[in-house]
Amino acid sequence: MDIRRRELLALSGMALASATLAPSTTWGQTPKRGGTLSLRTWDPPHFDPFQTISYKTHIALSFTHSRLLRHRAGPGVVPGTFPIEGDLAEAWSQPNDTTYVFKLRRGVRWHNKPPVNGREVTAEDVVFSVNYFMTVKGNANAYMLRSLDKVEAPDRYTVKFTLKEPFVWFLDMLSNPHAVAIVAREVLDKFGDYKKPEAVVGTGPWMLETYRPNVGLTFVRNPNYFVAGLPYIDRIETTVDEDNASRIAAFLSGKYDLGWEFPATINRTDWVQIKDTLKQKRPRLQTLEFPAPVMSHVSMRTDQKPFSDIRVRYAMSLAIDRQAIIDSVFEGVGAMNPPVPAALREWSVPFDKLGEGAKYYAHDPAEAKRLLAAAGYPGGFPASMCFTTYGSTVLVDSMQLVQKDLKAVGIDAKIDQKEYGAYIATCFYGKFDSITYGPQTGFLEPDNFLFGQYYPGELKNQSHINDPVVADMLVRQRRTADLAKRREIIFEIQRYLAKQQYYVQMPSGVYIAVWEGALKNYGPNMGYDYGGRLMAAWLDR
């Protein structure tokens, strides 16, 4: 297979987003108030957004909490793009490179629950939340605002952020559903943290009515939500459903209004099996396909032999048959990834613009062997590949294919399988001796994929890269406010990285977002913000 075919594949993955069934159009329809939306969820370990990175908690809180900014949602938003709009902030400005000033909406009230009892949200609440986010021990997401120097409340409705250095992704960080949920100090004073369900007091469109451990959560409409008339849906019923057969049955029988896998999708393996039945049982279902931002890669000790030799790294990339992975693991539908996953369509450089480095994404075992021999390894070399399953058969399958492909060119990678916690504590943060294979978090902006993984000394710089050229470009993109110029730098970074092959990127699957046809004004996207995507949706049934 030549690179042209790969390019086509990558593009086809992207094109799927617009080529499949169109999202439910809402033009000309009057939104209806009321109804109950039902979906599958996960049992949150607890409800403290600052004490967990678990999607289980953050998805639940997306219904109940607001942020300063949020990602715009709806059928008009193309999946993989994340336009920013105000959430609690109605306007903001940037007087200089390191200062951001936000004007809050007036009259926003907390949920009418003790101990806050519906008092007005002020700038002090935002300052408290941001400071707590930054300082509470154990907040694994605190790195997102690492550039922050201080946050102040000049008046009741103004919040001023001062950064230590320019960081153009700052607004993206504030709008990310992982980041600062605005919480009330009284709740912390009363409960000591935000873990208890009683501590779920926010300003979001819905309020947590009941939490039944291992059973489900019920959210009811917040009658005092600050966007007049919203949300339209009265109740959100979520069910903890840990068995796939049960989930399939529930979906077939019409129980769930959204696909049961994250983010409101159906796994392709399940989809292939039930799609014909679904056509009969639920003919109004809507679907939309878009590439997943979760990308696995092979990381390696580029500061040590043999991986310090660029020819070895080229050989490793050329050894991998990415098309076979798509065919075997993703049911034949996948997206090729350059250093920024294809899912981030605004930031991932298309393969036809990847330049000279694009050729290393082809499958060419003969050339790989030649390069290994030229590097002084004519018979290949032994390696150890750190790995954890994440409980995913898809990941195990792809790992086995990678191992087989490497073996075929002489790189005998013995699997060093670790338990999940041990893996995260070691290999995920670059603590390994040879190579590691595993998925990366599906971030919503490119900086996390690039800066975190390529800047010297960063925790997630798994390949131990210390390349001044890329480091300089990474800092430059963080200081380039102009979007077009920043995009060009990020494309340039990817072109450069393709020629270095510090990581061997694997293809991603393509999500199948599925939702009930009666759900109007809904547009699927990546990320944890289920609540945000449903806020302006309504039920026509």
Partner 1 sequence: MLRRYVAKRLLIAIPSLLIASLIVFTLPRLIPGDAVQLMLAEKAYAKDVAELRAKLGLDRPLYVQYVEWAGRALRGDLGESLWTRRPVLDEIAQRLPVTLTLASLALAFALLIAIPVGVISAARQDSLADFVARSAAILGLSVPGFWLATLLIVLPAIWWGWRPVGDFVEFSRDPLGYVRQIVLPAAVLGIAASAALMRLTRGMLLEVLRQDYVRTAWAKGLAERGIVLKHGLRNAIIPVVTLLGTQLPQIIGGTVVIETVFGLPGMSRFLFDAINQRDYPVIQGVNLLVVSTVVLINLAVDALYAVLDPRIRY
Q: Interface with partner 1 by CB under 8 A: which residues? A: 45-46, 51-54, 137-140, 195, 212-216, 237, 239-243, 245-246, 248-250, 252-255, 274, 277, 281, 419-425
- Given the complex with partner 1, which of 112 and 269 has the nearer CB atom? 269
Q: What is the DSSP string of 234-282?
A: SEEEEEE---HHHHHHHHHTT--SB-SBTTTB--HHHHHHHHHHHHHH-
| 422 token code pair | 């041990």
CA distances from 309 to 303, 372, 470 (A): 9, 10, 17
Map residue 199 onto helix, strand or coil: helix
For residues 403, 408, 414, 419, the Cα torsion angle rounded to the nearest 10 degrees is 0
Backbone angles phi, psi at 437, to 5 degrees: -125, 130
Round to whole Å and give the CA distance between 504 and 314. 9
Handedness of CA 153, 154, 155, 157 (dihedral sign): negative
Nearest approach, Cβ of residue 462 and partner 1 (Å): 15
Shortest Å, Cβ 254 to partner 1: 7
Tell the smallest beta-carbon distance from residue 448 to partner 1 (Å): 17
- Nearer residue to partner 1 within complex by CB, 48 or 321: 48
What is the rounded CA–CA span in Å between residue 274 and residue 263? 19
d(CA 298, CA 1): 22
- Both structure tokens of 335: 């997206």
For partner 1, the closer CB: 240 or 475? 240
User: The tokens 């080229």 sit on which residue?
Assistant: 314
Residues 380, 384, 385, 387, Cα dihedral to 10°: 160
Do 475 and 165 touch, CB atoms closer than 8 A? Answer: no
CB distance 44 to 197 below 8 Å: no
Smallest gap, in angstroms, from Cβ of residue 507 to partner 1?
26
Shortest distance (Å) from residue 169 CB to partner 1: 22
Give the pair of three-digit tokens for residue 302: 């580029």
By C-beta, is 100 or 271 nearer to partner 1? 271
Q: How far is the CB of 80 from partner 1 (least distance, A)?
A: 27
Q: Which is nearer to partner 1, 138 or 379 (CB)?
A: 138
End-to-end CA distance of the chain: 49
Q: Which is nearer to partner 1, 94 or 417 (CB)?
A: 417
Task: Output 390 or 496, the one with its CB closest to partner 1.
Answer: 390
Nearest-approach distance from CB 391 to partner 1, in angstroms: 9
What whole-number distance in Å separates Cα of residue 123 and Cα of residue 101? Answer: 11
Evaluate whether 133 touches 52 at the Cβ level (below 8 Å): no
Smallest gap from Cβ 218 to partner 1, in A, equals: 10
Residue closer to partner 1 by CB (options 241, 405) is 241
SS (H, E, C) 37-101: EEEEECCCCCCCCCCCCCHHHHHHHCCCCCCCEEECCCCCCCCCCCCEEECCEEEEEEEECCEEE
Name which of 307 and 428 has its Cβ closer to partner 1.
428
> 445, 483 in Cβ contact below 8 A?
no
- Least distance in angstroms from the C-beta of 464 to partner 1: 21
If the CB atoms of residues 251 and 449 are measured against partner 1, the closer one turns out to be 251
Nearest distance in Å: CB 232, partner 1:
23
Pick 52 or 299: Cβ nearer partner 1: 52
What are the φ and ψ backbone dihedral angles of 284, each rounded to 5 degrees? -90, 0
* DSSP 3-state of 438: strand
State which residue, 58 or 359, has the beta carbon closest to partner 1: 58
The distance of closest approach from Cβ of residue 419 to partner 1 in the complex, given in angstroms and rounded to an integer, is 3
CB of 243 to partner 1, least distance (A): 5
